[in-house]
Structure 1
Amino acid sequence: MSNLNTILKSIQNVKVIDDSIGYNNYFPIDLSITNQDFSGQKIDSSSSFEAYVEFYLLKTNAKVLYGGYSEKRNLYKRSNIFNDTETEERNIHIGLDLWIKAGTSVLAAIDGKVHSFNFNTGLGNYGPTIILEHSFEGEIFYTLYGHLSIGSIEEIEIGDIFKKGKKLATLGDSSENGDYAPHLHFQIIKDIENNFGDYPGVCNQNKLSYYLENCPDPNLLLKIN
């Protein structure tokens, strides 16, 4: 196990959305290509996707649906961002998604400073995105928060400090978050290279081993289950 993974496992009491919602109100959701229930749904727009999420929340009596790390999905076929004809299809998700209504508060996972932010436009993209930089027990790493509201990036500056659990942003709706049902894409990144306000959240099979190493399972930190 890497040193960062050990550090992530040691950090306790972490939340990245509305702190008033306990983990007992979270329920896992499978959006993979192997889930016949989901693949049988007609999810061709943000409204149909949002209807599916709301139905699943009611069905499970949950307030938050979560999952998706290392999950192969068909969700990305509708966007050429993931299906450039000159590259292999990107369809493996390497962050953790938390599905809940737009406007929900997004919290800094641990103490950090704003590394960068950007409005990543286009169908299927992150929309407004914030990346925090962290230094913990000698390790520098990053957390990415995607699919935010536009207002979330209007008044922040690079270098701004956010303490663990403090409000960082709010979730965006489909008009601003890349045309998805509202949710937070949360990702941990070891080496961010030269990326600014953006980092791949979906990869292809050939690069999966690299991205799984560079982007540890967010649940090591969140400990939802």
Structure 2
Amino acid sequence: MSTTTFTQLLHRLGNQSLYVLDAEIQKSAYVALDLSVTNEMLQTVDVSSSEKLGIYVDNHIKAHDAKVAFGGYLETRGIYRRSDYFNDTNPETERNIHLGLDLWIAAETPIYTPLDGEVHSFQNNTNFGDYGPTIILKHTVDGFEFYTLYGHLSLTSISTIQIGEKFEKGAQIATLGDACVNGDYPPHLHFQIIKDMQGYTGDYAGVASKKDVEFYKENCPDPNLLLRLTSV
């Protein structure tokens, strides 16, 4: 599978009206959110506190009269320094480059699959700062097999789901969790595209180090190719 061909497939699929949140939420109600280390406004926010970061995110949404904040693909973030699971003093191997697209919205918000798919795997990833409850779907389109990952879900989202369970495009697959179960973050969906699961089940790296980011850029293309929240 060539990268170019797979990217072209994603781009073509994105020409449809695809969504992972309620389709009734207009794209004009989404506002970009910068959580990178270069955002000077974050220097006054204790990003190690899910409550204080949540206040910052909520205020950002309200200030723009929006319903959802989004962003984060390939963003270098300082938020992961609070967790030993990501932390590393070596700038080449510290995992701080985000590989998915985050959608910040209230807990219990329904989550939908943008494409026909079946459950590849699911798991509660309980490390501090990890995904918490996670679902991974497998999709097969025009001979291409690939995966989408949904992280920071509610515990009920994985309580009855089964491997191999099929969902049609637009079907609800989950709801969002809160900080008690989602790795201690303000409520949000981590949405990621994965070409090759590399044998992982229920989990896949959502944050990369500088030395590994080129591999992950190829294996985890920009989710905005599907969702089109900004131009591609």
Which TM-score tier does this pair reach, normalised by the shorter chain?
A: over 0.9
**Identity, % of aligned pairs?**
50
SS at match of 1:10: helix
How far does residue 98 in structure 1 lie from its aligned partner after superposition? 0.3
SS at match of 2:147: strand
SS at match of 2:148: strand
Aligned residue type for 1:136: V
Cα root mean square deviation, aligned: 1.3
Unaligned runs of 5+ in 1: none
Match of residue 122, structure 2, among 117, 129, 147: 117
Aligned residue type for 1:8: L
Q: Is the 8 A contact 2:134 2:158 kept in 1?
A: yes
How far does residue 42 in structure 1 lie from its aligned partner after superposition? 2.1
Matched, 1:7 2:12: no
Aligned residue type for 1:110: L
Unaligned runs of 5+ in 2: none
How far does residue 2 in structure 1 lie from its aligned partner after superposition? 1.4
How far does residue 84 in structure 1 lie from its aligned partner after superposition? 5.0
Distance in 1 of aligned mates of 2:5 and 2:164: 25
TM-score normalised over the length of structure 2:
0.94
Query: What is the 5 A alignment of 1:39-118?
Result: 39-83=43-87, 88-118=93-123
SS at match of 1:8: helix
Match of residue 221, structure 1, among 198, 215, 226: 226
Structure 1 runs of 4+ with >3 Å offset: 84-87
Matched, 1:173 2:178: yes
How far does residue 49 in structure 1 lie from its aligned partner after superposition? 1.1
How far does residue 40 in structure 1 lie from its aligned partner after superposition? 2.8
Q: Which residue of 1 aligns with 2:202?
A: 197
Q: Which residue of 1 aligns with 2:42?
A: 38
TM-score normalised over the length of structure 1:
0.97
SS at match of 1:38: helix
Q: Which residue of 2 aligns with 1:25?
A: 29
Distance in 2 of aligned mates of 1:92 and 1:168: 27
Distance in 1 of aligned mates of 2:46 and 2:129: 17
How far does residue 22 in structure 1 lie from its aligned partner after superposition? 1.2
Distance in 1 of aligned mates of 2:218 and 2:43: 28
